Amino acid sequence: MKTNTVGIIGAGAIGQAFAKQLVKAGINVILSNSRGPETLADVVNGLGGKARAGTVKQAAEADIVFVSTNWSRTEAALKGLNWDGRILIDATNPVLLPGYKLAELGGKNSSQVVTGWAPGARVVKAFNTLLASVLAQDPAQSGGRRVVFISGDHTDAKAEVAELTAHLGFASIDLGALEVGGYLQQFPGGPLPAVNLLKLG
């Protein structure tokens, strides 16, 4: 597997659950948030030696970048970063709180919006449909592997994310381009969020 380091932008419940799976699989993690690396010292210590805290810019320079920020903060988090063809796993959901309302997306789905916010990135929608508590669990369950849905407009980027997903012990299902899969995966609105499937065999 080509990926040695994954940068995480957004160190909330989803970001921490994903970091836990990466560290367990022997992959280096750079965890970041808007408040600075020093605020993540306890989290990183709890994750172990493969994890370190960094700035958002440092996280965005990793082999693969994972964004799991609150929707209202996502544009600002991605702004001004140099993507240079890097893979960006979009685990965000366009939810406005309070009330769990769908954000105004201008006729697009949220991953298409994220693509506009991160010019030059190869965006792959993944890991947004699992609850943090589920994502943190062992993906091997009842003789099968927990499913992660992926969609994106770059076949090579999706293949690399699928490889990473398998390395973590999950099974992936490719839903096609963002125009299709982005809507299926989107919360609120899509049919797949919080669906917890196992792939047998």
What are the domain boundaries of the chain? Answer: 5-200
| Unique residue bearing structure tokens 């592997």 | 145
Instruction: Select from 3.20.20.80, 3.30.2270.10, 3.40.50.720, 3.30.413.10 the CATH code of 5-200.
Output: 3.40.50.720
Which stretches of 25-122 are DSSP H helices?
A: 41-47, 56-59, 71-78, 110-117
**Spatial separation of the C-alpha atoms in residues 36 and 142, rounded to whole Å:** 40
Q: What is the pLDDT along the chain (201 residues), one digit of tens a residue?
A: 788 999 999 999 999 999 999 999 999 999 999 999 999 999 999 999 999 999 999 999 999 999 999 999 999 999 999 999 999 999 999 999 888 899 999 999 999 999 999 999 999 999 999 999 999 999 999 999 999 999 999 999 999 999 999 999 999 999 999 999 999 999 999 999 999 999 997
**Spatial separation of the C-alpha atoms in residues 39 and 33, rounded to whole Å:** 8
Q: What is the dihedral of CA 114, 13, 11, 53, to 10 degrees?
A: -140
The H-or-E segment that residue 145 falls in is: strand 144-152
| Unique residue bearing structure tokens 């994954």 | 6
